[in-house]
């Protein structure tokens, strides 16, 4: 059975190295890293991840912009993206979110990270049985935003 493929995009190379080693040590995932957010989409195209771990605050390009570029690709429209950020404050019993994506606070314990990865991979797998064109529930908000944005862009091109 093929291992899920995880792409890590973060500008902190030491963090990426430790995270990649920790995930690979579990032998449950194939992991690729990219420390230049400007190359994240190109790396995703080549690697074809099942899930993306994405830093939110990066100096050269904002994580939200990187997520939007990845999601604009039809083959990645259902790929789970988990934001990792030192700016996230998680309240007990509440899931943190940034732009409709689950957000995990740095530093994060490996058990918590593995649980979030597995939860998101399971949700994506369950959603793959959806009707054509239907977004999974956890993507509804961002899907609607992209749909509205695309409709506005298409109208602007016509007129």
CATH number of the CATH domain containing 20: 3.40.50.2300
Q: What is the pTM of this model?
A: 0.75
* Domain that includes residue 68, residue range: 5-158
* Strands 101-105 vs 97-98: parallel, antiparallel or unpaired: antiparallel
What pLDDT tens digit does each residue of the chain (159 aa) get?
789 999 999 999 999 999 999 999 999 999 999 999 999 999 999 999 999 999 988 888 888 899 999 999 999 999 999 998 877 666 554 557 776 778 888 888 899 999 999 999 998 888 876 433 344 444 444 444 444 444 444 344 434
Give the count of domains, the chain.
1
């Amino acid at each position: 059975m093929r291992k899920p493929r995880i792409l890590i995009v973060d500008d902190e190379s030491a963090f990426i190295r430790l995270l990649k080693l920790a995930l690979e040590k579990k032998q449950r995932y194939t992991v690729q890293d990219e420390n230049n957010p400007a190359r994240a989409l190109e790396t995703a195209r080549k690697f074809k991840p099942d899930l993306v771990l994405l830093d939110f605050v990066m100096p050269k390009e904002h994580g939200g912009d990187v997520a939007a570029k990845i999601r604009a690709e039809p083959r990645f429209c259902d790929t789970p993206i988990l934001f990792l950020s030192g700016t996230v404050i998680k309240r007990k019993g509440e899931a943190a979110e940034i732009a409709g994506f689950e957000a995990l606070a740095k530093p994060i314990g490996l058990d918590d990270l593995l649980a979030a990865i597995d939860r998101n991979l399971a949700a994506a797998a369950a959603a793959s049985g959806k009707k054509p064109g239907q977004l999974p529930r956890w993507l509804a908000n961002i899907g609607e935003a992209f749909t509205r944005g695309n409709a506005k862009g298409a109208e602007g091109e016509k007129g």
